Each structure stands twice: as structure tokens, then as C-alpha cells.
Chains A and B, each alone.
Chain A
Amino acid sequence: MLRLSSGLRSGDPHSLAQIYDRWSALVHTVALRALGNSHDAEDVTQQVFVSAWQGRHNLTPSERAFPAWLVAICKHRVADRRAERAREARRVSAYAAAGHALTDVGGARDIEESVDRVVVLQTLDELGDPRRAILRLAFYEDLTHEQIAQRLGMPLGTVKSHVRRGLVQLRSRVQEVRDGTR
């Protein structure tokens, strides 16, 4: 099987489809939170994947680098869209432009935090079972490790080990995207 990065670089459209299917929800969610409306968020999502296709020759050939790469493109497109809105606002009134400038400063900070959370959601989704189920019970249903062990009929040590390793994975994924986009 071809790796996604080499497939994309060689111009294999099937790789683009796979990349889209795997990460479009992540990109769209980041854009949606940053822009607040689904029309703009879908526009940005489309731009991100088309840019990814057009810029595929500059791609770092590592599977792990994909989310960071896509999120970095997404942040640029979101900034462009916000700048357009600000220009539009300036045309309307100077007062509104000042208001938008302030909003944008806050927006830049917000987007970092929302990227972190979206990466957590993506990572939880992609974990294989039983780790995925164990982390869901631990974080979404607030069960203790003992309760999870009982519910799943697993040794307590196994549950603890999955929670710890899952936490290590979550930290790595969040950190990779931070490092690749800041």
C-alpha cells in the first residue's frame, strides 16, 4: 500500500480522497469555530484541501505531519477570511472596523485552544479498541478505573495501562500539531 504522503506527492488523486476523508471533519471543525458560520467554514475547508493538493510537492513526507500541515493551512485561510471581513467592515464604518480588530486579536488566541480540543477529539476517535472504549468511559462517563475494569471484565492493571498510554498519545498528538502550526 502506498503511504499517503508519497501517494499525494506523486499526484495520486485517490490519496487526496483518503486524506480528505480522514481529516476534513478536523479542518472543518476548526474553521467552523473560528468563523462561526458553516458557509464560510465549508469554503475554508474546500480551500484547505485544494491548497494541500496544489502544494503537495512541498509536503513533509510523514504521516504524522498531516494534521499539523492541514491545520496550518486552515489557520492561514481563516486569517484571510477574517481580514476580508475586516476590510468589508471598514468599508461600512470605522467604528465597526475597530470592533473587528479587537475581535480578531481574541480570535487568534481562541483558535489555538480550539485546535487543541479538536485534536483531542480526532485522536480519541482514531484510537483502536479497547483503548478507545476505556478512555471514553474514563472521560465521558467519569467512571473510576475499578468501575471500567468491572464493566469491561478486564484486569485493573490493563485498564490503568490503557489510560496512561492513551494520555501519552493524546499529549503527543496535541504537541505535534502545536509545534507544526505555531
Chain B
Amino acid sequence: MEHVDDELLAALALGDDDELTAGERAHVAGCDRCRLMVDELRGTLALTRATADSGERLVAPGPGVRERVLSAASVPAPVPPAPRSATRSALRRVPAWLAVAASVTAFGAGGVAGLLIAGNGDESPSTPVAVVVAKTELSTLSGDAARGSAQVVRGDGRTTLQVRATSLAQGGGTHEVWLINEDGKRMVALGFLSPQDDGSFLVPAHLLAEGYRIVDVSVEPDDGNPVHSGTSLARGRL
């Protein structure tokens, strides 16, 4: 016979024996697993009553502890809210280690082409041909080896980031493209590069105006984890 359902065993532990059929009671009497469960449930019942009777409560630590914990993990506190206008589902907070690397790149990288994005809502829907509005050379994080290039193209009412990376080979894993905000706090995943390490990604135009200008290529293990792996193969600032 199958074991008796835990809820019925709980009824037994609470003294509601008549909730069980004669067959169920007979099973419990002869089954080590079910008897043990009833014993444990009785133990939990006594523990819960004793806890309630003692009037004990959880005691929160003082507010200073939270600050010290978060600062030890270099978390900026309080946590700023995500920007209203950005696509929320795709936004990620940038881990502390990545933010540091991002700011280094922001100040250290060259290769900045004329960025023609003046602000919001300046797109001309009648732009006849695609125009390169920003571009960058990609390099390793240390900046000592070239890793291809990326450019932002606007035309036909859409903005596209085109990436052509080179020499990324890093064993297994897929190469994913991210835009990191210059504030070092926010990032957005754009998608994966082809096996040839090139790719073209639609970018909401306002993201660039909001400071998402650091192109990052990471290697992602196939682990179902949507967060940046922490391993950047190439980077450049638009």
C-alpha cells in the first residue's frame, strides 16, 4: 500500500484520528516511514507550541550591520532604481567587479568616432541610407590586443549595433554582447554572436543617449544563468 498522505499524518499528530480510514490507520501502524513522520510532526507541534508560549520573537540586528555588510561587498547603498525609460526586463545591475572595469574602459579607451546622437527624439524617419553614428575598436580588457570593431548604424527608422569581433577563441561557451552604462551601474544584454563572431543587434536608440555606450563581449557557459559570466573577452567605448 502507498504511504499515507502527509496532511493526514499531520491530522494524526494533531489528534484527529477519525480523519483516517481503518485501512490508513492500519498502514501507519505497520509502516516505519509513516510512524516516524507522525513522531516528527508531533515533535514539531510541541516545538511550535513551546515557541509560541515562550513569547520569543526574531530580533533584527541594528541598521548599522546592514550598511557594513553591503559596504564590505562594495554595494552602493541605497540601491538606485532602474531608469523608467529603459526596457526593464533586459536591464541588469552591473556587478561591482564589472563596474570597476567599466569605468577604467570609459576613461582609458580611445577610438571614439563622432557620436551624432544629440538627445531624444531627433531621429529623422526619412533618413534615406544607413548612417554610422558611432563606432569603436574592440580590445582586450587590458587594452593590449585588438579584438575587432563595433559600430552603431541608424537608418530606416532603426538603430543597430553591428559587431565584428576577431581572435576571441576561448574554448567552449557562447559569445554574448552587452551594453554597459557609463555610470557603471547598469547593463543590458543584446544577444549572441554568430559562430564567426559577428552579429547585428537592434538597440533602443534612447539607451545610447542614456549612457549605454560600452560594448562588451563575454563568454557564457551553457548553464542557463542569464547573468554576465564575469569573463569579458573584448570591450570598447562608443
Contacts and interface: CB of A to CB of B under 8 A. Distances in A.
A142 to B, nearest CB: 9
For chain B, what secondary structure do more than half of its interface residues adopt (helix, strand, loop), or is it mixed?
helix
Interface stretch (B21-29, B73-81, B171-179): B73-81
Contacts of A42: 61-62, 64-65
A163 interface: yes
A124 B6 CA distance: 19
Contacts of A160: 11, 16
Nearest to B54: A117
Contact of B58 (A21, A26, A41, A175): A26
A161 B58 contact: no
A174 B14 contact: no
Contacts of B14: 163-164, 167
B69 A49 contact: yes
A118 B58 contact: yes
Interface residues of A, number: 49
Question: Considering the complex of A and B, which 3 residue pairs feature the smallest CB-CB distances, nearest first?
Answer: A13-B75, A10-B227, A164-B10
28 contacts: A7-B227, A11-B95, A11-B230, A13-B75, A13-B76, A13-B79, A14-B93, A16-B73, A17-B70, A24-B60, A24-B65, A25-B58, A25-B59, A28-B60, A42-B62, A45-B65, A46-B69, A50-B72, A120-B47, A121-B57, A121-B58, A139-B48, A160-B16, A161-B7, A167-B45, A171-B43, A171-B44, A174-B47
Interface of A: 2, 6-7, 9-14, 16-17, 20-21, 24-26, 28-29, 32, 38, 41-42, 45-46, 49-50, 53, 116-118, 120-122, 124-125, 135, 139-140, 160-161, 163-165, 167-168, 170-171, 174-175
